[in-house]
Amino acid sequence: MHEDLDRYPPFPGRERLLAALDHAVQQPDITLITHTLQQVLREAIADAQIALPACVHEPVADHYARRELYHSPVHGYSVVAMTWGPGQATPLHDHSGLWCVEGVWSGTLQITQYALQAQAGERFQFRAGRGLLAGPGSAGCLIPPHEYHTICNPSPDQIAVSVHVYQRVMQRCTVFLPDPQHPHWYRREIRDLQTDDGPTPARSSTAVIGG
Ligand SMILES: [Fe+2]
């Protein structure tokens, strides 16, 4: 039995999914952990007995929504569902050195990884990798230091939902924004991350950034 479940929105199959996540994060190394988590997410997405809470299918108008489904007080990991309205996207960002496994529950997301090419003081250059279109049932992972990426819902009219398992609660991350004074360079900002508590944002939303 998991603790503090009443803090999170309930959904069918939750205990079974959390038990599988608990098992996955106890694998002996990061490669096995992230590999096993990807398999758990793929199986969960295909499992008709597991249905995410209704709120995660409700987009928020001015930013993609983040809703925490669980934070394990024993193992430390955090599960966040994200809801992407048409065209909603992250800026280029990192994950504060945390590993993360991401699965697409519905819709399609475009994920582009970036490699850090150069740094000059507070300015950064990146090389974009090939964008990956990830459809329902697909899962991938980000393992530092290969953690720079963007996520976008490229659809003009469809919502996308993804589930992200983080090594720990990610309270902030670094975003990299194009530097208008230096073409091809980015400047960085530290952003605190927020969650949305339901269909209507419970907290006013300053930018919620960092998938
Ligand atoms: Fe991300």
Angle ∠(87,41,81) on CA atoms, nearest 5: 45
CA 174 / ligand 1 centre spacing (Å): 10
The per-residue pLDDT of the chain, averaged, comes to 92
Q: Are the CB atoms for 164 and 153 separated by under 8 Å?
A: no
Enumerate the β-bridge partners of residue 92: 176
Residue 14 main-chain phi, psi, to 5 deg: -60, -50
Per the domain annotation, does 201 fall within a domain? no
Domain for residue 163, yes or no?
A: yes
What is the whole-number distance in angstroms between the Cα of residue 184 and the centre of ligand 1?
21
Give the Å distance between the CA of 113 and the centre of ligand 1. Answer: 10
> Cβ of 120: how many Cβ atoms within 10 Å?
9
Whether 199 has a pLDDT exceeding 70, the answer reads no
Whether the CA torsion 36, 37, 38, 41 is positive or negative: it is positive
Q: Is residue 94 part of a domain?
A: yes
Q: Is residue 199 part of a domain?
A: no
Whether 65 and 82 have beta carbons less than 8 Å apart is answered as: yes
Give the C-alpha separation, 158 to 104, whole Å: 13
Per-residue pLDDT tens for 168-180? 999 999 999 999 9
Q: Is 184 exposed, middle or buried (0-12, 13-18, 19+ CB in 10 A)?
A: exposed
* Separation of CA 149 and ligand 1 centre (Å): 6
Q: For position 87, which CATH number holds?
A: 2.60.120.10
Q: What is the Å distance from ligand 1's center to 211 Cα?
A: 3
Q: Is the pLDDT of residue 162 over 60?
A: yes
Q: How far apart are CA 113 and CA 105, in angstroms?
A: 20
The per-residue pLDDT for 130 is 87
Strand segments (E) across the chain: 65-71, 78-84, 92-93, 100-106, 109-120, 123-128, 132-134, 139-142, 148-152, 160-166, 172-178, 186-192
Instruction: Give the pLDDT band (50/70/90) at residue 58.
Output: very high
Number of structural domains the chain divides into:
1
Evaluate whether residue 204 is within a structural domain.
Answer: no
Closest CA to 109 of 148, 66, 178, 163: 163
pTM: 0.91
Question: What distance in angstroms lies between residue 72's CA and the mean position of ligand 1's atoms?
Answer: 20
CA of 14 to the centre of ligand 1 (A): 23
Q: How far is the CA of 94 from the centre of ligand 1 (A)?
A: 6
Domain ranges, residue 129: 5-192
Q: What is the pLDDT of residue 4?
A: 85
Residue 22 lies in a domain: yes
Task: Classify 36 as helix, strand or coil.
Answer: helix
Neighbouring C-beta atoms of residue 158, cutoff 10 Å: 13
